[in-house]
Amino acid sequence: MTDREPSPDPVVDPAAMRKQYRAQGLDEHDLAAHPMDQFGRWFEDAARAALHGTLYEPNAMVVSTADATGRPSTRTVLMKQFDTDGFVFYTNYGSRKALDLAANPYVSLLFPWHPVARQVIVTGTARRTGRDETAAYFRTRPHGSQLGAWASAQSSVIASRAELDAAHAALAARYPEGEQVPVPPHWGGFRIAPDTVEFWQGRENRLHDRLRYTARPDGSWRVERLSP
């Protein structure tokens, strides 16, 4: 008789984790003509799900970048605006993602709305937002977050948490609540202009609906169904 490894606990065994998606399907005839209009429909659904406690942070998106050598990196950020021109998020321009985008502007976004069995996957090109647009958004941030944009040299190595907290406290003393905090010159937005936008709807038996918009040179969009 040979020794065998104990059977994995199904509660923590990834291979045993399965969920049937019984959501309503996604049909080509139901799509908006423009992908950003379709995104608006789905984002409204996600926001309503968040309002009812079903989904957490519907504007959270996974941003994947690659540096000049092609090495990828991924992180979650908060999308702060979307319109016909694309998706906007804000960051420190010295961060890893911003340095990646300076060398390689191609980017992928993923909105992982798992509780409603939906995903939106975007590929596109990043460009910086204008300073006026950046300043307008910065003024809407809570005071502490405005100070945080100055206190953190994002993605850089620091000695301790105490160093970060001390920098924030010094800024709070310099710019108390109610006093205007200047917009950091090293901080701002990126707008992702989409080349493709895929809407993924979970279905039973892993036969998901995947409908992808692809930009044409004339500004129109082609819609294709992808096999799951």
Residues labelled as active-site residues: 206
SS3 (DSSP) at 59? coil
Q: Round to whole Å and give the CA distance between 210 and 214.
A: 13
SS3 (DSSP) at 193? strand
Cβ-based neighbours of 115, under 8 Å, separated by 6 or more: 49, 54, 55
The first and second tokens of residue 3, run together, are: 């020794």
Cβ-based neighbours of 146, under 8 Å, separated by 6 or more: 138, 175, 181
SS3 (DSSP) at 206? helix
Whether the CB-CB separation of 201 and 209 falls below 8 Å is answered with: yes
Question: Could you give the residue ranges of the DSSP H alpha helices within 79-198?
Answer: 96-103, 131-138, 143-151, 161-174
Ranges of beta strands (E only) in 22-85 are 60-66, 72-78, 81-83
The first and second tokens of residue 218, run together, are: 């004339």
Enter the DSSP assignment of 82. Answer: E
